[in-house]
Amino acid sequence: MFLLDVNILIAVLAPQHEHHDKAAGWFLANQRQGWATCPLTENGFIRIFGHSKYPDGPDDTEIAWQLLSSLCLQPGHQFWSDGISLLDQKKISNFNRLKVNVRRSLLITHKL
């Protein structure tokens, strides 16, 4: 089971991304092992890839949402609800590494 990062989601879904071929190949080879998204990664993908200033992006968060929605219909996908407050200092100890802390808490919660 893999919790996909925003960077991987973008590389998989953006054919013009410099690492698209490598990321898409890895995804196709590993998706049946199980893969997950969470509110943090879904929000990050839609906000970044759909932003008007993202190079060669769709310039539309709705299109970014549609692309992500289609990907999440692929085999092996799970949505991990986070239930993590960014104000919880027991789980979020280093705000300079916020994304890492949230992902670590998700992995622990989902016993991976």
Which residue's structure tokens are 């013009």?
16
- Give the separation between CA 31 and CA 97, rounded to whole angstroms: 27
Q: Tell me, what's the pLDDT at 40?
A: 84
Q: Model confidence over 96-109: pLDDT tens digits?
A: 555 666 666 667 66
Query: How many domains does the chain fold into?
Result: 1
CATH number at residue 73: 3.40.50
> 0.85 exceeded by the pTM?
no
- Give the separation between CA 20 and CA 18, rounded to whole angstroms: 6
Q: Tell me, what's the pLDDT at 84?
A: 63
Domain that holds residue 80: 2-109
**Rg of the chain on CA atoms, in Å:** 14
Mean pLDDT value of segment 37-66: 92
